[in-house]
Structures are given as C-alpha cells and as structure tokens.
Amino acid sequence: MSNYSMEMILEYSQVFESNKDEGSDANNAAKKSQSMGGKYKVNAYFTSQEDLDRLKADGVKEVNLGHPRFKEGNSEYGIGIFMNLHRYHNDTKTFKDKKTKEVKELDFGGPPVVVDLTNGRENKRLWDVDVDGFLGNGTRALVKFSTYSDGVGLRLDAIGVLELVPYAGKDSDEDDWDI
C-alpha cells in the first residue's frame, strides 16, 4: 500500500455523513454502495502533470474494471484531468496470517477526515459541516489517499480544505450531485 498527499481541486464532493451517496437498486455499483451503508466520494482534479505522472510511474493502474481511472473533465479545474476517489461507510476487511492462523479485522470505512486548513496548518481544525457548510465545486484541497492491491484500488483517506468554494445548492448547475 502506498500513501499520497496532493493538492487537488474538488468536484461533486460527497464526503460527509449527511451528503454521502446512499446507493440504490439502479445498478451493481449503486447496489454495492447501498449494501455497504453508502459511499463517500469526490472527483479530485490534478493541479500538476507531475502528480499524475508520479501515480502512473508508481504503478497505479490507468484502467480499472474496464474503465479509465484518469478522466478528462472540467478544463477550468487544475489540468482538467481527475480521478474519482471514494470510501464506503461500512468496509471491514478480514485478513488471515497463513503461518499463525491469526485473523485480523481492519475497518477501512466511515467518512474521511476533513480538516480546515484555510487559516494555515498552524490553525487547523476539524471541518464542521453544520457551521462551515459543504464543499462546492472548485474547492482547493490537500487530498490524502492510498493505493492497495498493487495499484488497482484507491481509497480516499482525508481532505484538508485550503480554499473553500461554498456549495451552491442542489438546484445549481455548478454542484449537481445527481449526474
């Protein structure tokens, strides 16, 4: 597993328990989200070609389950290329040690940590969605994520908000979560 921290631009952020994607019966991916208690997700745009090249050089797979991992999107955000990062609400994994037969359970679920860095790292604090609001399209953030399964899987770990673009509302063209 590799860990990364990159400055990125956020789009369609659903990273709080109150706005997570609850899933549905629409298709297999939506059913999986529903069965795992929902999914926290965000489109994270690269702000430099070097960051994208670094992921590729580190072996992050460019195609996952037949779909491109790195997608062209809004050219006004960073370099216009994003990847979708997510994590499930309920995501406990069981690992077995073949030699000792020990079983270990690790919980990879729950909302990502969201921290307010708008006043500098020395004044950081946890984001309070009830006070600070949701993250709108174009929010600049430090995004922490990890890879697993030899670069096949990506998991959103944390977001540090550097510059907030307030969420414009569900009826806004700018922040339509139901795409």
Whether the Cβ atoms of residue 6 and residue 157 lie closer than 8 Å to each other:
no
pLDDT digits (tens, 9 = 90+) for 111-165: 999 999 999 999 999 999 999 999 999 999 999 999 876 656 789 999 999 999 9
What pLDDT sits at residue 151? 59
The tokens of 66 are what? 């037949």
Has residue 21 got a pLDDT over 70?
yes
What pLDDT score was predicted for residue 177? 47
Average pLDDT over residues 8-27: 89
- In tens, the pLDDT along 61-104 reads 888 777 899 999 999 999 999 999 999 887 777 777 777 777 77
- Tens digits of per-residue pLDDT, 164-179? 999 987 665 554 544 4
Single-letter amino acid code for the residue at 58: D
State mean pLDDT over 13-30.
Answer: 84
* Residue 144 and residue 157 in contact, taking contact as beta carbons nearer than 8 Å: yes
3-class SS letters over 31-74: HHHHHCCCEEEEEEEECCHHHHHHHHHCCCCCEECCEECCEECC
Q: Tell me, what's the pLDDT at 25? A: 79
| The pLDDT value given to residue 179 | 40
Q: What is the DSSP-derived secondary structure letter of residue 134?
A: P
Q: Considering only residues 34 and 43, tell me which one the structure prediction assigns the higher pLDDT.
A: 43
What domains, with CATH codes, occur in the chain? 2-163 (2.40.50)
CA–CA–CA angle 3, 108, 73 (5° rounding): 60
> What's the rounded Cα separation, in Å, for the pair 2 and 151?
8
Work out the pLDDT band at 36, boundaries 50, 70, 90: confident
